[in-house]
Homo-oligomer: A and B are copies of this chain.
Amino acid sequence: MKHHHFFINASTLVHAHESSSTPCPSSSTRNSTSQWHLSLPSKFNSDLWCFKNSGRPMARSSKLSASFVETQSGGTRWNPSTEQIRILEALYRGGMRTPSAHQIELITAELSRYGRIEGKNVFYWFQNHKARERQKQKRSALLALCANTTDIMSPSAAVSNMGKECSMAGNKKRCRSWNVAGIDDGDHDKEKSCDGTLELFPLHPERKDT
């Protein structure tokens, strides 16, 4: 996980000619912001941010596999070149986390010199990278913490719980019971009282430490 160097490059940059079919919609309706129901922030909704998968159908089904996909000009997902990755990581290290539309533009422009790339790729890259860095970090933190506070009773439970909110199977079903004010989870157990004041908890189902 340390070294994601992809030896792709050159092949991808074909983009230029292949984009044949309506790069960004085109013709008439370039203002269609919803071609991607992606919940992109409005700032990304300008036609600049069409994000239409470079305009192709996406043919995600037929499994044309390796046959000629590798001509990736446009049929496959973005495959960042080493240069692109290097730059993106440098930006990330520099503190960039959620680039603005304009920044994405610039970045895309710059990175396009190293292979095909679109704004959405940059956008997603930061989203994913940020999330995964955090995840990585969190995990180690939790593990450390977990080691310290074994208060959960069984390490296994603790571990499994780490990521999930209260899926502690079996043992402590009392999880859903405190859903106080609003936003109900939907899993209505008998214990739920939702009135916020009373029976916030199962009221001492068991005890477990100190």
> A57 in the interface, Cβ–Cβ < 8 Å?
no
> A180 in the interface, Cβ–Cβ < 8 Å?
yes
> A27 in the interface, Cβ–Cβ < 8 Å?
no
Whether the Cβ atoms of B82 and A158 lie closer than 8 Å is: yes
Q: Assuming A102-B148, A152-B103, is B181 touching A90 (CB within 8 A)?
A: no
Whether the Cβ atoms of A189 and B109 lie closer than 8 Å is: no
Whether the Cβ atoms of B97 and A180 lie closer than 8 Å is: yes
Size range of the chain A interface in the assembly: 35 or more
| Residue numbers in B under 8 Å from A45 (CB-CB) | none
Whether the Cβ atoms of A95 and B209 lie closer than 8 Å is: no
Whether the Cβ atoms of B110 and A201 lie closer than 8 Å is: yes
| Residue numbers in B under 8 Å from A158 (CB-CB) | 82
Residues of A within 8 A of B (CB): 1, 3, 9-10, 13, 16, 43, 81-83, 86-87, 90-103, 106-107, 109-110, 112-116, 130, 133-134, 137-138, 140, 142-149, 151-152, 158, 161-166, 175-185, 187-189, 191-194, 196-197, 199-201, 204, 206-210
